[in-house]
């Protein structure tokens, strides 16, 4: 294959494009104090603030986990309250696991961000930049949906339901709280203490929502960028038989650029799968169990005829279901894009290419037969089929709980 001829080109808008692509993840990761770990070009003040945020997030999560665990597994609570608190307890536990893997995988995330930034800086044509811009907008759209659903469902559970839902006579808490067990440490009868404890619960909820949304936003951003790079590869393949006629040397130069670009996309996609593998496994297992408990609480509140609690739990269930749907949609999108390379390579008028040059396309067609798949711990592939399996599994576990209780 001929030596690649580098085209001198500089994307003058590259820095602005990079900032625009990373915008949602930048704000979410800053709240969690992880941004300096994945993007080293930060100031000392930003690093100090990030360290403070990191310590604060772990303190509020640990405090929440300890207090709710003591209340749930002690004799202070009745069975109905235990079942009510298993959902939030499991959510904070799985959120801390995802938080841990985000920190543990910060080098892989940083590597993906560096590849993304390098791709923006090496854009060679305006049409290719437009393709990447469309991919970035697609990632922003997926991120906005994830943030909207998770925050609306979570904040309604934290703020609306405690004040508007019906209160049981057996409830010993005078002042409404979304999560039980904070009376172990705080005297909720005092208004200033109650306001502080309620705000602490809201802060803890925001931290947990940020952890959930940042994982989805990272996956959306990386996969949308990879799909944009695949679209550029497809555009290059289609241009082989269009426009001006090329001799064999010119064709080999173009083919070398295409193969090099395709290999770079495949490596980037493999890095995405390696980065999100453990986090997606925690997300799948945790979401399945939490959805099961939400379904049980939904049926319980239906029997109690509590309309506010029913609406809150229903919207919370939709939020978790949509979140896992987003992961499956992202995984399905990347797989379909990788398959398109082989289909497009075969679909073009390859018989008009010079000599045996069309045989070079066989490598790309062969690679597309084994597309990259994002998996949950290399056990479950992120696809629409497994999204249905998650819903069925959560319902099966819910029926098991109803039978046992």
How many angstroms separate the CA atoms of 245 and 233, rounded?
A: 20
Higher pLDDT, 203 or 367: 203
Coil, strand or helix: which one is 381?
strand
Q: What is the maximum span of the chain, computed from C-alpha positions, in angstroms? A: 86
Q: pLDDT digit string (tens) for 209-249?
A: 999 999 999 999 999 999 999 999 888 888 877 655 566 66
Which two structure tokens, joined as six digits, stand for 6?
């580098």
Coil, strand or helix: which one is 376?
strand
Predicted confidence band of residue 97 (pLDDT cuts 50, 70, 90): very high
Residue of 132, 137, 138 lying closest to 229 (CA atoms):
132
Residue of 56, 81, 58, 55 lying closest to 70 (CA atoms):
81
Domain boundaries defined on the chain:
13-165+174-404
Predicted confidence band of residue 355 (pLDDT cuts 50, 70, 90): low
Higher pLDDT, 121 or 174: 121
Identify the pLDDT of residue 248.
65
Predicted confidence band of residue 172 (pLDDT cuts 50, 70, 90): very low
Reply yes or no on whether the pLDDT at 319 is more than 80. yes
How many angstroms separate the CA atoms of 176 and 166, rounded?
A: 10
Q: Within 10 Å of residue 403's Cβ, how many Cβ atoms?
A: 7
DSSP assignment of 12-59 equals: TTHHHHHHHHHHHHHHHHHHHT-HHHH-----HHHHHHHHHHHHHHHH
Reply yes or no on whether the pLDDT at 4 is more than 50. no
Identify the pLDDT of residue 396.
85
* Percent of residues, the chain, with pLDDT higher than 70: 90
Predicted confidence band of residue 11 (pLDDT cuts 50, 70, 90): low
How many angstroms separate the CA atoms of 138 and 382, rounded?
A: 18
Identify the pLDDT of residue 301.
81
**Segment 267-280 mean pLDDT:** 91
Reply yes or no on whether the pLDDT at 169 is more than 60. no
How many angstroms separate the CA atoms of 335 and 97, rounded?
A: 27
Let me know how long the chain is: 405
How many angstroms separate the CA atoms of 388 and 160, rounded?
A: 30
Q: Is the dihedral of CA 378, 384, 390, 392 positive or negative?
A: negative
Give kind and range of the element (H or E) at residue 375. strand 375-376
**Segment 105-121 mean pLDDT:** 90
Predicted confidence band of residue 3 (pLDDT cuts 50, 70, 90): very low
Q: pLDDT digit string (tens) for 39-77?
A: 878 888 888 998 999 999 999 999 999 988 888 888 777
* pLDDT, averaged across the chain: 83
């Amino acid at each position: 294959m001929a030596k690649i001829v580098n085209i001198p080109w500089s994307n003058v808008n590259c820095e602005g494009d990079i900032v625009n692509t990373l915008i949602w993840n930048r704000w979410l990761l800053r709240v969690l104090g992880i941004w300096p770990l994945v993007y080293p070009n930060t100031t000392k003040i930003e690093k100090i603030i990030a360290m403070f945020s990191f310590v604060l997030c772990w303190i509020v999560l640990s405090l929440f986990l300890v207090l709710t665990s003591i209340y749930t597994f002690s004799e202070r609570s009745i069975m109905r309250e235990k079942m009510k608190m298993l959902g939030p307890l499991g959510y904070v536990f799985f959120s801390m696991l995802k938080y841990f893997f985000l920190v543990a995988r910060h080098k892989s995330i940083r590597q993906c961000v560096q590849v993304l930034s390098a791709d923006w800086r090496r854009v060679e044509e305006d049409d290719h930049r437009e393709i990447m811009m469309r991919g970035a907008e697609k990632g922003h759209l997926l991120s906005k949906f994830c943030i909207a659903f998770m925050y609306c469902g979570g904040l309604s559970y934290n703020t609306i339901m405690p004040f508007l839902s019906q209160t049981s006579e057996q409830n010993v808490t005078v002042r409404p709280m979304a999560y039980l067990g904070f009376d172990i440490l705080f005297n909720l009868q005092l208004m200033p203490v109650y306001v502080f404890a309620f705000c602490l619960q809201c802060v803890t909820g925001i931290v947990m929502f940020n952890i959930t949304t940042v994982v989805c936003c990272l996956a959306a951003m990386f996969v949308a960028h990879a799909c944009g790079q695949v679209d550029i590869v497809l555009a290059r393949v289609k241009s082989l038989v269009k426009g001006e006629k090329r001799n064999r040397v010119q064709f080999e130069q173009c083919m070398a650029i295409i193969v090099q670009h395709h290999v770079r996309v495949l490596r980037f996609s493999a890095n995405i799968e390696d980065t999100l593998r453990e986090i997606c496994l925690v997300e799948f297992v945790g979401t399945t169990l939490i959805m099961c408990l939400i379904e049980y609480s939904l049926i319980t509140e239906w029997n109690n005829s509590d309309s506010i609690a029913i609406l809150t739990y229903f919207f919370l269930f939709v939020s978790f279901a949509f979140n896992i749907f987003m992961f499956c949609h992202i995984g399905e999108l990347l797989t379909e894009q990788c398959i398109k390379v082989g289909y497009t390579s075969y679909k073009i008028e390859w018989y008009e290419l010079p000599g045996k040059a069309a045989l070079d396309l066989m490598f790309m067609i062969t690679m597309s037969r084994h597309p990259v798949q994002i998996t949950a711990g290399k056990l479950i592939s992120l696809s629409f089929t497994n999204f249905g399996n998650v819903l069925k599994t959560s319902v099966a576990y819910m029926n098991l709980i109803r039978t046992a209780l």
